[in-house]
Amino acid sequence: MHNLRLYIVAFFTVLLVSCKTLMAADIAIVVNVNNVVDKLSMGDVEKIFRAEKQFWKNGKKIRLIMRPMDSIEGKVLLEKIYNMPQEEFKLFWLEKVYGNIVTEPPTIISSASMVNILVGQLQGAIAPIEVNKISEWAKIKVMKVNGKMPGESGYPLKAEK
């Protein structure tokens, strides 16, 4: 009986950790709920986060909101969008700012809760966020990327395990 309890506890612990890992593996791209865009291609996401595209279709300025580059969201951006190590990321944005390509670098927010709030308040905002950290009360919407929502097979912004 004692062994059975241990097996049951171990099973549910593994199940809980596995579910959390699966949920955290997808990084959603979120925008303000009033944004006119509902879906983006991976190419669009790359252009937006590399400041090659700085305005939405309606003319509103795109405001990049990011988590720190050592967060899971930051690591996925570095790997899938920027294709560079963390050290080069700062230089990338310094060149954009001092080359007058952008007026400001992305806003880096350490708290996922604050990302939810800020994207919900800023009409042109866009941010990557772990799926399991999206607030149901935030005034944000999750974007389809390449026609896929986070969690769907083929979704392109997955953290490597």
Residue 116: give its domain's CATH number. Answer: 3.40.190.10
Q: Is residue 17 part of a domain?
A: no
Distance, in Å, from the CA atom of 28 to the CA atom of 20, rounded to the nearest integer, reads 15
Contact present, 140 and 31 (Cβ < 8 Å): yes
pTM: 0.82
Q: Which residues pair with 31 in a beta bridge?
A: 126, 141
Q: Is residue 155 part of a domain?
A: no
Predicted confidence (pLDDT) at residue 78 exceeds the cutoff of 80: yes
> Percent of the chain beyond pLDDT 70?
84
Report how many domains make up the chain.
1
- pLDDT one-digit tens code per residue, 79-90: 999 999 998 999
Q: Is residue 73 part of a domain?
A: yes
